[in-house]
Structures are given as C-alpha cells and as structure tokens.
Amino acid sequence: MKKELLMESARNIKEKAYIPYSKFPVGAALLLKDGTVINGVNVENVSLGATNCAERTAIFTAITSGYKKGDFQAIAVAGDTSDYLPPCSICRQVLAEFCLPDMPVYLTNKNKDILELTLKDLLPYAFTDLDM
C-alpha cells in the first residue's frame, strides 16, 4: 500500500476521535503485513491519564484482533497541526514493543505533506526486552 493511501486512511478516521476536552483530533492507520489496515483515534477522558492516543488504539485493536509482535508493517499519524504530528513518548514505547526499528512511520500536517521516518528515527534508544 502506498504511503499516501495509508495517510488518507489516518486523515479520514481522525474525524471519529472522542475529544470533548482538547478538541485535538488524531487519527492513525496501521498497516499489517497481510495488507489489513487497522485505524485508531484518540479517546479522551476527563481523567486525562485515562486518555488513549490514536496510535495505541490502533495497535491494541490489532492485538485484540489476533495480530502479534512483528505483524506491523507501517503506521501513519494525522492531525490538524502546522508541523508534522509525531507520536507521544508513550506511543513510541508501545511501537517499540511491537514493531521493528526500521518500520516506516509517516507523519503529516494540515497541508497534507508527508514526512517518512523509521521507528528508530523517532526512538533511537528504545527500551526493549534486551534491556531486561
């Protein structure tokens, strides 16, 4: 799947975000190795610590659907920001748990530009099971 199509999926799903407090919609589209795309949105809670980001929503949905560590091929993250919208640090750590360091991560901005990075670019010194 082309990165533009994956990003379009992330852009479209962000409209379903539950954001009554921040008014900051985020969408994520996770590409699985079998070609399946699983979407996620941020889901807020008045207790901010209970809020879940779009990237984690997509990953946790994939795990719930039977996918496993190593099944993830790429992720696209979309918001309405002037600059590229990267995953938060918690999401980066969750990505490090389930994805390979060279997995593509696509970020966008409100102008629909796409920046392509790898997970290792976002989290160069990830804490992994090798650190246990």
Binding-site residue ranges: 53, 88, 91
Tell the burial category of 114 from Cβ atoms under 10 Å away from its Cβ (0-12, 13-18, 19+). middle
- Binding residues for Zn(2+), as ranges, are 53, 88, 91
Q: Answer yes or no: 55 catalytic.
A: yes
Identified catalytic residue from 15, 55, 97, 116: 55
For 103-117, the DSSP string reads -EEEEE-TT--EEEE
Query: CA 23, CA 45: separation in Å to the nearest integer?
Result: 12
Asked if 76 contacts 54 with a C-beta cutoff of 8 angstroms, the reply is no
Catalytic annotation, residues: 55
